[in-house]
Structure 1
């Protein structure tokens, strides 16, 4: 039972073919309704570009690489609108930006999930800054991203920073993925509390660990690669992955009778 007294959602296992089919269905949703996907993708990319410009203005260009890696963490939050697009298309319901916004606003628990997502992103950025201070203290002021990457790739301290940073980043990504991969779609689809949504999401990952970890790796790699060309690749990558996540959710969680 959930904390609200309702029956917990039922989770079923998936296999690699389910991941591939969900991705194909996500691509079809994007092709069928490209305007919505491009708008949400552009919003995500604009956020990354804005933060990058701020870091440049404040002389903190060395944080652009960690930002590009950590920016994938908030993808599930930004993709909420895309889940609603796929949900409405699946049900044949009328679709508009107003309807999407109304659906999201009507689910108060989504705000708590957004807080969880942003909190993990802040932790990621703080631990990167901490590692830079601890391991690259003598080189902590960099005039360019190229100088930062040179230090990271050519010094023992830099390689240690890279190893620890990537290990911590992988752990945080897996934790947040486990908490959110089903949570946001579930909160849009049903009246459940955010704790039940997170527990269901973790159960979905535990039930099918290899396919779900594989899906997490695909998401992170595609988002990081898409973020490298000034975040512009996210305009297309985010909507496809967002729509695909909805269809994977439909395979993971048994629909209500």
Structure 2
């Protein structure tokens, strides 16, 4: 019986998946990841351009829909909220970078197959996390509008903009809205920057993926928050010309995030797990 118990104890760790280990990174690693992401885009530009174009088109449709529904004053909050789904939209880009790194064949059929397979995996739950935060974003916009500008609508985005920048209430709405938006964006970044590429590569639960993502950010807060700041500035600039900048910048950011994930997280080999269990 003792031998049987000992055998069971020794075989259980072998059946468990290796826990992700978080590494500390520096700004040099961020620069290296950005360089690798740019190289991936250059090696397979057609995939990045198409995915970026669809994402840009989606943002443009959201803004135009708000205008068609006589809610053009919500164009800016909607555009900013739409960018929050960027991590999910970049899944195809992560797969391109993964295949380039692994030396595997790249084709639209393989990329679409990989993305379609995610619907039954844990990555689909991450989509709900992103959606939940996006809903919170829109609710806080409506709440702040009601608190500072009252329960009224605006005939045009120009009228809304004039109200925001020329009145004390509007300036307060702008300030508080950006602070709350920055907090929500930071929360989303912390939960997803590592979890999306991790779930694409590894068969893990989304809770473990989010915990790993939080650990990666807290282990290297300055480089990771610095990367978040870079992403924010790039996305804001990219949205300015009718979202057209996203056609180029989204794929580069997506490829870079994949390489940043590979620098932040490692998985021990099975033999290392067995040696650790034996000790």
**TM-score, length-scaled by structure 1:** 0.95
Answer with 1 or 2: which has the greater Rg: 2
Please name the residue that 2:273 is paired with. Answer: none
Deviations 1:69-115 (A, max 9, x none): 22221110100000000000110111112211222333411110011
Please name the residue that 2:12 is paired with. Answer: none
Please name the residue that 2:161 is paired with. Answer: 149
Tell whether the 8 Å contact from 2:48 to 2:93 is kept in structure 1 after alignment: yes
Paired residues for 1:71-150 under 5 Å: 71-107=82-118, 108-137=121-150, 140-150=152-162
Deviations 1:1-35 (A, max 9, x none): xxx95332000011111111111111111111110
SS in 1 for 2:183: helix
Please name the residue that 1:8 is paired with. Answer: 19
SS in 2 for 1:212: helix
Please name the residue that 2:213 is paired with. Answer: 201
Q: How many angstroms apart in 2 are the aligned matches of 1:69 and 1:167?
A: 13
Q: How many angstroms apart in 1 are the aligned matches of 2:130 and 2:108?
A: 23
Deviations 1:118-142 (A, max 9, x none): 211121112111211221116x321
Tell whether the 8 Å contact from 2:73 to 2:156 is kept in structure 1 after alignment: yes
Tell whether the 8 Å contact from 1:12 to 1:253 is kept in structure 2 after alignment: yes
Please name the residue that 2:4 is paired with. Answer: none
Q: How many angstroms apart in 2 are the aligned matches of 1:173 and 1:159?
A: 21
Q: How many angstroms apart in 2 are the aligned matches of 1:87 and 1:43?
A: 21
Corresponding pairs, count: 253
Compute the RMSD of aligned alpha carbons: 1.4
Q: How many angstroms apart in 2 are the aligned matches of 1:247 and 1:77?
A: 16
Please name the residue that 2:250 is paired with. Answer: 238
Deviations 1:155-207 (A, max 9, x none): 11111101110111010000000000000100111111111000000000000
